[in-house]
Chain A
């Protein structure tokens, strides 16, 4: 059983397109996150949601819009894709906000390539 699952695993698309990445966790956690890993492997938080409520929005362009229909799902929609959006996007979840006192579990990542 996959604890945090993301789809798709790979996504290749042209500049200007709109795409979505889906994430689901079956751990019963209250908090979910999106992280971006750039070509140098640097991991930076983009968003976090707690019980469907936005907690963190880390100066991400508004072309990125997270959606949390319920606390088990956090999807990421990206409008007007740019070359610089190429990266690996990781979804994660934890029991508490920020993961304090607990650990974060990560999905397998979505490698987005914008051409």
Chain B
């Protein structure tokens, strides 16, 4: 596709429910990143994929968060047993090859609200 796409664009869920957020990177981009951005805050790195493997999961806040990537393309970020503090904009980005030094292109984000 022309850019990074994410779905859903908005998600409202109840505390304790599980949610899945999807990211479609730019075609041909092998590196994929998940970030989150709380209201008025900066970017918080969550995880990065090179192909289907995740060399760096260091930013995942807890074991309720997991992510996978299949076919070197689409990625899904899953949050289990959501909490109110999980409310944020979840951003996905992709870059062409190796992550170091490559320009990251962001999607529009998924706005998650946990009630």
- A and B together in one complex: no
